[in-house]
Amino acid sequence: MRPETSLFKAFEIFDHTTFSRFGTKPTPMPGMVNSAQTSKGHKITKVTAEAPQVCALRVPRRNMKTSTKDKIKGSFHEVKGAIKEEVGKVTNDRSLKAKGKAEKKSGKVQQRIGRAKEAVAKLKGKLTELKTG
């Protein structure tokens, strides 16, 4: 028996429903089909792909405010710039040091933008409160 044919017999014996996760049976996706040919008889064996399983306990994500995102990204860029700047100092690389300083400054600016967005949102809330009150 040739190794190719034994491999295909192994796939025929293998049943996907016996190896299910969390006691659920996987459902095949209708549009995705893989084809393989044998060199002997030119038979086509079709294998369907399984749908990815989703955890049932997943909680829907809450969207973050843009002001908070800006503050987080700004602090990340500030730290990244500081690291680049220090590596530039240690390696005596002027361009890396300059890039680090620039990224550090852009991180500070992004944090200030986040704070400004937050202040505008607070003022907007106060204005709507004054209009209704």
User: 66-115, pLDDT tens digit by residue?
Assistant: 889 999 999 999 999 999 999 999 999 999 999 999 999 999 999 999 99
Is 60 a residue whose pLDDT tops 60? yes
Spatial contact of 27 and 51, defined as CB atoms under 8 Å apart? yes
What average pLDDT score do residues 33-44 get? 53
Same domain, 70 and 114: yes
Report if residue 30 sits inside a domain: yes
- Residue 34 near residue 46 (C-beta atoms within 8 A): yes
Domain encompassing residue 70: 66-118
Residues 83, 46 within the same domain: no
d(CA 114, CA 63): 16
Count of domains for the chain: 2
Residue 123 belongs to a domain:
no
Q: Against a cut of 0.85, is the pTM above it? A: no
Q: Is 75 a domain residue?
A: yes
